[in-house]
Amino acid sequence: MSGKIKFETALKKIEEIVSQFENEEMTLDELTRQYEEGMKLISLCNDELSKAENKIEMLVNGEKGKKTKIHFKDMKETKNAGRSSPTKNAGKEPETENTKGHY
């Protein structure tokens, strides 16, 4: 990973690494190398997302002339209301009429 890469490129590479973990047999050395690269890419993506959030907050504050904090996490929760989270239901069987509430 040399030089500055774009967020979208890093995200695509992370997806490729995950796919390799799921679908390919790799040596321990290759797994370790891919994991390390993936963690660096995740850090880069997190940094870029933080910068974008800060920029949006500055734009909103500047336009309205007052301090307005946008809570991106709250926006995600509102957007996903009614949807089940993949991590929330990880390892569980899908609910049916016969199994609802029996976990």
Does residue 94 register a pLDDT over 90? no
| Residue 24, pLDDT score | 86
Looking at residue 58, its pLDDT comes to 86
pLDDT in tens, 51-93: 999 999 888 887 665 665 656 666 555 555 554 444 444 444 4
Amino acid residing at 66: K
d(CA 33, CA 66) in angstroms, rounded, equals 47
* pLDDT, average across residues 12-35: 94
**pLDDT at position 70, please?**
59
pLDDT of residue 59: 87
Q: Structural domains in the chain?
A: 7-79 (1.10.287)
Instruction: Return all residues near 76 (Cβ < 8 A) that are at least 6 apart.
Output: none
